[in-house]
Amino acid sequence: MDARYLQDKEELKQSAQDVNEDRRAFLTAGLVGGAVAAGTLVASVANAQQVAQAPALTAAPFWPHPKWGKDDVAGASNWITPAKVLDTVKWIKDGKIYRIGRVYESGMPKFGERAFTMRIPGSPTGGPFGANKLVYHDEYLATEIGQTGTQFDGLGHIGIQMGKDGDKNEMRYYNGHTEQEIGGAYGLAVIGIENCKPFFTRGHLFDVEAVKGAPMDAGQEITVADLRSALQKQNMQEADIKEGDAVFFNTGWGKLWLKNNDKFNSGEPGIGLEVAKWCIDKGVCLTGADQWATEVVPNPNKDLAFPVHGELICKNGIYNHENLDFTALIADRKYQFAYIFSPAPIKGATGSNGGPIAVT
Ligand code: UVW
């Protein structure tokens, strides 16, 4: 089995139980005290004491979304307006297109027991047809289509169990939607990826690997200070990051792709709650990275599992693009570009595969 940062399923189960027990204890101890503002992080979790309080992040309602309102199902893709597109176009200078997605193939590293199996029946699949003797191929693909390879996490991908474990009325997703409302064997009923608007926005790439001088290690957290060092090194201004822009992090972990899948799957460097808060404060529409979750795994606070996913996607409607490849952009020292991606509008899907591009 392809376990990611924990050794096996038992350990994963135990960890989830521990987190849940902590959360229950925290809630019943009444320590929350309204400290969590709707849709926001409590505070930077840069120091140990704050990290120890992190389970409180899931304790208070985070809906309705303060900007997009209670009926919204599109989240931060709402930032992509005609004005944003026209502003982004100004960044297209030499007309070069960079593919920043990976090729999909069965041997790519996958989370847990996800699959990617393609078959082309026959050979060719059909024909010859007509006097012109036309033959054709088509493919059958069995996969978690929005959650393998280069994957775009939609709003229905991540939820937070509030209240009692297993209570689907208290399993909350973006804008407070419950598992009871959205769950369905044939696709999500409410916040499927078809509600996400296409992206055409300004992208900023932080080459943190270059800041560190080497590929980062699993469990190594990217800090806001690292981002500021990258900005300086890349001759970019923090003030240039506008609401509705997309931010990307290069850690060097992507170098393991297809070279050492076991190590790639074993954990990863990435952003933590401090940078998540910075992203929320900036009002970005999307985060992305050259690894499989954008966030650091394991989290420095061992009690937390994917907390950045919870804060960005679930609470704030900020999308996440994983397993990207910035090699060509970095080789050309292109750190700012038009990020263009239209998620496949598969009704009720949790995310999307596809071919994102950066245009400079
Ligand atoms: C999970 O599904 C938990 O993570 P990811 O979005 O990285 O696939």
At 329-353, the pLDDT tens digits run 999 999 999 999 999 999 999 999 9
pLDDT in tens, 247-264: 999 999 999 999 999 999
Query: Quick check: 39 pLDDT over 80?
Result: no
Q: Is 292 in the pocket of ligand 1 (CB under 6 A)?
A: yes
Question: Is the CB of 147 inside a 6 Å radius of any atom of ligand 1?
Answer: yes
pLDDT in tens, 99-155: 999 999 999 999 999 999 999 999 999 999 999 999 999 999 999 999 999 999 999
Interatomic CA distance for residues 244 and 247, integer angstroms: 10
Q: Please report the atom of ligand 1 found closest to the CA of residue 351.
A: 6
Longest dimension (CA), the chain: 79
Q: What residue's CA is closest to ligand 1, atom 1?
A: 293
**CATH class for the region spanning 9-107+152-359:** alpha beta
Q: What is the pLDDT of residue 59?
A: 74
pLDDT at 58: 67
Residue 73: exposure state from Cβ atoms within 10 A (0-12, 13-18, ≥19): buried
pLDDT at 20: 37
Residues in a beta bridge with 152: 321, 352
List pLDDT tens digits, range 192-219: 999 999 999 999 999 999 999 999 999 9
Distance CA(324)–CA(291), nearest Å, equals 7
* pLDDT score, position 56: 53
> What's the mean per-residue pLDDT of the chain?
88
pLDDT at 5: 36
% the chain with pLDDT above 90 = 83
Residue 3 has pLDDT above 70, yes or no: no
pLDDT value, residue 4? 36
Question: How many CA atoms within 13 Å lie on the side-chain side of 318?
Answer: 29
Residue 11 has pLDDT above 70, yes or no: no
Q: Over 80: is that where the pLDDT of 229 sits?
A: yes
Instruction: Decide if pLDDT at 188 tops 80.
Output: yes
- 58-85 per-position pLDDT tens digit: 678 999 999 999 999 999 999 999 999 9
Q: CB of 144 closer than 6 A to ligand 1?
A: no
Give the Å distance between the CA of 268 and the centre of ligand 1: 12
* pLDDT of 169 above 80: yes
Closest CA to 304 of 8, 22, 10, 11: 22
Q: Give residue 63's pLDDT.
A: 97
Cβ(207) to ligand 1 under 6 A? no
DSSP states of 35-77? -SPTTS-SS---SHHHHHTGGGGGSS---SBTTTBTT--SGGG
Q: Which amino acid, one-letter code, is at 38? A: A
Compute, in angstroms, the gap from residue 30 CA to the centroid of ligand 1: 31
Percent of the chain with pLDDT over 70: 84
Rounded CA separation 321/248 (Å): 9
Q: Would you say the CB of residue 26 lies under 6 angstroms from ligand 1?
A: no
| Whether 292 contacts 323, CB under 8 Å | yes
Nearest atom in ligand 1 to the alpha carbon of residue 294 is 7
pTM across the whole model:
0.86
Query: Distance (Å, rounded) from C-alpha 50 to C-alpha 276?
Result: 15
